[in-house]
């Protein structure tokens, strides 16, 4: 919903609204997969949006806004312990409280918790590769590392997930 | 694509669809707009500073002015030192500590980069021991240190952050040599623009409320230029062992990564360069005292190694820890690890490096840690 106050505002704010409406849903999905929490994801998206918009005048390719936003979200998430702490707190709450989302069946819940328990860069690598469908090179660009390092991150993450899943098998 | 990858794709798609759709918020859009304006203003800052200089010269050498005395906290000016910009009362001084002769230029990973004070003259004595002048009660100081970029721990918090008390109530009332009598101290650490920072703020008991507000406003106004290059050092991990807070720091060196462990009582151990990428290299350190001592084993591991295990030679089960990613700019060849072993801490042990399939790729014996008190 766009408030009437925004609608009355300047052309610049109209442009910002348009940008937000266009990019926020995909950004929110990515942020949710990285954080596992809607509120944190929204915070992450908003912070990333503000940062990217702040540099928008310097962007040579306006169409690259989504890519900049994605990179900023990942970098913000992986570099900030605050989010790790919030995440741990969230996981703690999740262990003791009934989940608000659709109940999981079988090993899906274990897999999801294992994904959330991955170190931030490994989790980001997995989400970028298997949700965003980025190539190893593109994943490496977002994570600001070499393609080999990105590949190693995914390999380590998959190994951890495999181990965690096996651990939970009867 | 194997089953795990297929399940993972399906799971992530399903979870993402439950992420919700954020709605544009008026405050967010205005904040974004202000940020845009800030970028534009930053570009104009140089011009403004130049014009400001001209105005100041005219003000300083122009005809004398009458009227009531000016508010010492107004006007405010902006000063940039070592890529940090602060807005502060014009009567306060902001200097580069090295240029001002406050601190020597050193190669350490932590360096003092900005100093702000209301002292009439910025000298090492005025800053480090205002009590010597007999007029320390109204003094205030803010320092900014550039520290290794934190990937974990307190220092990884993004800007803005809040100042918190550095000294417990009662402990900071009188400095050990009367240098800072009755001063209160605050601190904060954060990460911004690819750089790590730490601030220390101190003020005397006679500092007025408006002056404290101005000090807080100066801290809140800080802006940071992006890091000019890749970080020289990063904090890879933090934790507590034996009652001590510790940090594992990776530093870029000519021949590879240098790892060091630093702990809160001021100790430091380390080694490097990390050497052959395929091998395990490590250090051992015991923290704490008496029965509370805990062992920390830390080190570097070549890229095939994804997990390390430590097992003491006598007693106690093995513990393991995953290999931590080290930024490529520090060393693309190796990862790092750190694990805390609660005891026994005095004997030798064995460290094993495992690959993704759980195969042992490297085994090394570990020496006992330095004895207590060393």
Instruction: Encode pLDDT of B325-336 as tens digits.
Output: 888 888 888 899
pLDDT at position B29 is: 64
pLDDT at position B88, please? 93
Give the model's pLDDT for residue B48: 33
Q: Is B1 on the interface with A (CB under 8 A)?
A: no
pLDDT at B315: 72
Strand partners, B201: B142, B186
pLDDT of residue B277: 57
Are B236 and B109 a contacting pair, CB within 8 Å?
no
pLDDT tens, position by position, B256-268: 788 888 887 767 7
Higher pLDDT among residues B146 and B256, named by residue: B146
- By C-alpha distance, the chain B residue nearest A46 is B28
For residues B45 and A67, the model is more confident at A67
> Cβ–Cβ of A29/B29 closer than 8 Å?
no
Establish if B95 touches chain A: CB-CB under 8 angstroms: no
Task: Show residues of chain A in contact with B323, CB under 8 Å.
Answer: 156
Which residues are paired to B202 by β-bridges?
B141, B185
Task: Identify the closest residue of chain B to A160 by CA–CA distance.
Answer: B356
pLDDT of residue B28: 64
* Inter-chain CB proximity A82 and B150 less than 8 Å: no
CA-CA distance, B102 to B128, in Å (whole number)?
9
Laid out side by side, the sheet with B149-150 consists of: B149-150, B233-241, B244-253, B256-263, B268-271
Instruction: Name the pLDDT band for B105 (thresholds 50, 70, 90).
Output: low
Minimum Cα–Cα distance from B191: chain A residue: A80
The chain-wide mean pLDDT, for chain B, equals 76
B4-13, B61-70, B176-185: lowest mean pLDDT where? B61-70
Range with the lowest mean pLDDT among B53-57, B176-180, B297-301? B53-57
pTM over 0.95: no
Kindly indicate whether the ipTM for this predicted assembly is greater than 0.85, answering yes or no.
no
Q: What is the pLDDT along chain A (170 residues), one digit of tens a residue?
A: 333 333 334 555 566 677 788 888 888 888 888 888 888 788 888 888 877 776 554 444 556 678 878 888 887 776 554 444 444 444 444 444 333 333 334 467 888 888 988 888 888 999 999 988 888 888 888 887 778 888 888 988 898 888 887 776 65
Describe chain A by its helix, strand, coil percentages, rounded to 5: 80, 0, 20
For chain A, domains (ranges, CATH) are 1-101 (no CATH), 104-170 (1.10.10.10)
Residues of chain A contacting residue B322, judged by C-beta atoms under 8 Å apart: 119, 156, 160
Residues of B within 8 A of A68 (CB-CB) are: none
Nearest CA in chain A to B153: A81
In the prediction, which pLDDT does A7 show? 35
Query: B186: distance to nearest CA of chain A, Å?
Result: 20
Could you tell me where the beta strands, DSSP code E, fall in B204-333? 223-224, 233-241, 244-253, 256-263, 268-271, 280-287, 294-302, 307-312, 319-322
Nearest CA-CA distance, residue A85 and chain B, Å:
9
**What pLDDT score does B141 carry?**
87
Is the Cβ of B24 closer than 8 Å to some Cβ of chain A? yes
Q: pLDDT value at position B275?
A: 54
Q: Is B356 on the interface with A (CB under 8 A)?
A: yes
Distance CA A89, CA A72 (A): 23
Q: What is the per-residue pLDDT across A119-153, written as a single tens digit (0 to 9) for each?
A: 888 889 999 999 888 888 888 888 877 788 888 88
Domains in chain B (CATH in brackets) are: 72-224 (2.60.120), 233-366 (2.60.40.10)
Candidates B12, B32, B322; nearest CB to A16: B32
**Does pLDDT of B6 surpass 80?**
yes
Residues of B in contact with A46 (CB under 8 A): 22, 25, 28
Cross-strand pairs, B115 = B95, B143
Note whether B32 contacts A84, CB cutoff 8 Å.
no
pLDDT, tens only, B180-220? 677 788 889 998 888 889 998 888 888 888 898 999 999 99
Q: Which one of A15, A29, A31 makes the best mutation probe of the B interface by having the most chain B beta carbons within 10 Å?
A: A29
* Among A53, A110, A132, A151, the residue to mutate for chain B (most B Cβ within 10 A): A53
Distance CA A160, CA B349 (A): 25
What pLDDT, on a 0 to 100 scale, did the predictor assign at position B55?
31
The two three-digit tokens of residue B182, written as one number: 């009755």
- Can you tell me the distance from the alpha carbon of B352 to that of B72, in angstroms, rounded to the nearest whole number? 64
Cβ distance of B154 and A81 shorter than 8 Å: yes
Give me the percent of chain B exceeding a pLDDT of 70: 72
Spatial contact of B33 and A12, defined as CB atoms under 8 Å apart: yes
As a whole-number percent, the residues of chain B with pLDDT over 90 amount to: 15
pLDDT at B124: 65
* Predicted confidence (pLDDT) at residue B373 exceeds the cutoff of 70: no
Mean pLDDT for B6-23 is 82
B39 CB neighbours in chain A (<8 A) are 54-55, 57-58
Q: What is the mean pLDDT of residues B346-365?
A: 88
pLDDT of B170 strictly over 60: no
Q: If DSSP codes are grouped into helix, strand and coil, which group holds residue B56? A: helix
Neighbours of B261 (CB within 10 A): 24
Report the pLDDT value the prediction gives residue A8, as an integer from 0 to 100. 39
């Amino acid at each position: 919903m766009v408030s009437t106050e925004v609608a009355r505002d300047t052309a610049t704010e109209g442009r910002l609204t348009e940008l937000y409406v266009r990019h926020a849903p995909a950004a929110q999905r990515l942020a949710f997969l990285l954080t596992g929490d809607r509120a944190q994801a929204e915070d992450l998206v908003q912070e990333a949006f503000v940062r990217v918009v702040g540099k928008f005048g310097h962007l040579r390719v306006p169409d690259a806004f989504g890519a900049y936003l994605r990179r900023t979200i990942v970098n913000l998430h992986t570099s900030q312990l605050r989010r790790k702490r919030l995440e741990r707190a969230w996981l703690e709450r999740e262990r003791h409280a009934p989940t608000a989302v659709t109940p999981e069946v079988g090993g899906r819940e274990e897999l999801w918790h294992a994904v959330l328990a991955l170190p931030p860069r490994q989790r980001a690598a997995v989400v970028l590769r298997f949700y965003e469908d980025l190539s190893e090179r593109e994943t490496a660009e977002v994570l600001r590392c070499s393609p080999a390092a990105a590949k190693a991150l995914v390999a380590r993450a998959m190994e951890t997930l495999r181990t965690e899943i096996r651990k939970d098998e009867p | 694509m194997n089953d795990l990858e297929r399940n993972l794709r399906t799971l992530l798609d399903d979870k993402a669809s439950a992420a919700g759709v954020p709605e544009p918020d008026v405050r967010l859009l205005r904040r974004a707009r202000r940020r845009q304006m800030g970028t534009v203003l930053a570009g104009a800052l140089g011009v403004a500073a130049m014009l400001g200089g001209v105005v100041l010269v005219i003000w300083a050498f122009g005809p004398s002015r009458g009227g009531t005395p000016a508010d010492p906290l107004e006007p405010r000016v902006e000063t940039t030192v070592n890529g940090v910009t602060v807005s502060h009362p014009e009567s306060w001084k902001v200097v580069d500590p090295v240029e001002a002769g406050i601190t020597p230029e050193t190669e350490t990973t932590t360096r003092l980069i900005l100093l702000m004070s209301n002292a009439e003259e910025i000298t090492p004595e005025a800053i480090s021991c205002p009590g010597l002048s007999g007029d320390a009660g109204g003094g205030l100081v803010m320092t900014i240190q550039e520290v290794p970029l934190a990937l974990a721990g307190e220092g990884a918090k993004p800007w803005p952050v809040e100042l918190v008390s550095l000294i417990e109530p009662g402990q900071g009332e009188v400095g050990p040599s009367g240098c800072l009598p009755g001063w209160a101290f605050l601190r904060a650490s954060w990460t911004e623009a690819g750089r790590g920072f730490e601030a220390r703020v101190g003020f005397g008991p006679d500092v007025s409320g408006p002056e404290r507000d101005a000090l807080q406003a100066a801290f809140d106004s800080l802006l940071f230029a992006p890091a000019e290059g890749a970080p020289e050092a990063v904090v890879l991990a933090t934790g507590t062992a034996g009652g001590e807070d510790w940090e594992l720091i990776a530093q870029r060196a000519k021949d590879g990564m240098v790892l060091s462990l630093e702990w809160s009582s001021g100790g430091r151990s380390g080694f490097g360069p990390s050497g052959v990428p395929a091998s395990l290299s490590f250090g051992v350190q015991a923290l704490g005292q008496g029965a509370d001592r805990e062992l920390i084993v830390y080190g570097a591991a070549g890229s095939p190694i994804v997990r390390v295990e430590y097992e003491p030679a006598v007693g106690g089960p093995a513990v393991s820890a995953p290999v931590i990613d080290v930024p490529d700019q520090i060393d693309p060849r190796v990862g790092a690890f750190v694990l805390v072993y609660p005891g026994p801490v005095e004997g030798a042990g064995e460290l094993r490096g495992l690959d993704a399939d759980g195969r042992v790729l490297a085994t090394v014996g570990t020496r006992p840690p330095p004895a207590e008190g060393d």
